[in-house]
């Protein structure tokens, strides 16, 4: 079983940066990908970015591309989401999730979720 815990959220002003961290534990050797998602008030949860641990590839949703970057540390058990030039519309609870499925295809395949970390961007 895999567990993930997010950290790094907070209150910032528009234009500032934050880095979120997601630490994985448990059977991390089974992880095939980790991703970041967010849910704004009154909206559905949406995909932000993923890091595929098998191929090393990363992908960032077009809505935040150019401002957000996903990366993985040398220990390979923590994934980061660097968020620059934050906008008020980035305000949301940010969730980290992991999947152990080979050949995963959708974010519905992510079965291990954290509790989320609040990011609030003020104008």
Q: What is the pLDDT of residues 81-100, one digit of tens each?
A: 999 999 999 999 999 999 99
Q: Which residue carries 């401002």 as its tokens?
A: 67
Q: What is the pLDDT of residues 35-56, one digit of tens each?
A: 999 999 999 999 999 999 989 8
Distance CA 119, CA 88 (A): 10
Q: Residue 55, Cα to own-chain centre: how many angstroms?
A: 18
Distances 112 to 34, 56, 73, 107 between C-alpha atoms, Å: 9, 20, 19, 11
DSSP-derived secondary structure for 24-87: EEESGGG--EEEEEEE-TTS--EEEEEEETTT--EEE-TTTBTTEEEEE-TTSSEEEEEE-S--
Q: What is the pLDDT of residues 61-83, one digit of tens each?
A: 999 999 999 999 867 799 999 99
According to the model, what pLDDT value does residue 29 have? Answer: 93
């Amino acid at each position: 079983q895999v567990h993930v815990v997010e950290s790094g959220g907070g209150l910032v002003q528009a234009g500032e940066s934050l880095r979120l961290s997601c630490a994985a534990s448990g059977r991390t050797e089974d992880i095939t990908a980790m991703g970041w998602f967010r849910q704004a008030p009154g909206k559905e949860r949406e995909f932000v970015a993923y890091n595929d641990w098998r191929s090393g590839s990363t992908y960032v949703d077009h809505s935040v591309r150019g401002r957000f970057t996903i990366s993985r540390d040398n220990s390979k058990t923590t994934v980061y989401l660097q968020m620059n030039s934050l906008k008020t519309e980035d305000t949301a609870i940010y969730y980290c999730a992991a999947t152990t499925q080979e050949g995963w295809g959708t974010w519905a395949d992510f079965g291990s979720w954290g509790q989320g970390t609040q990011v609030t961007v003020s104008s």
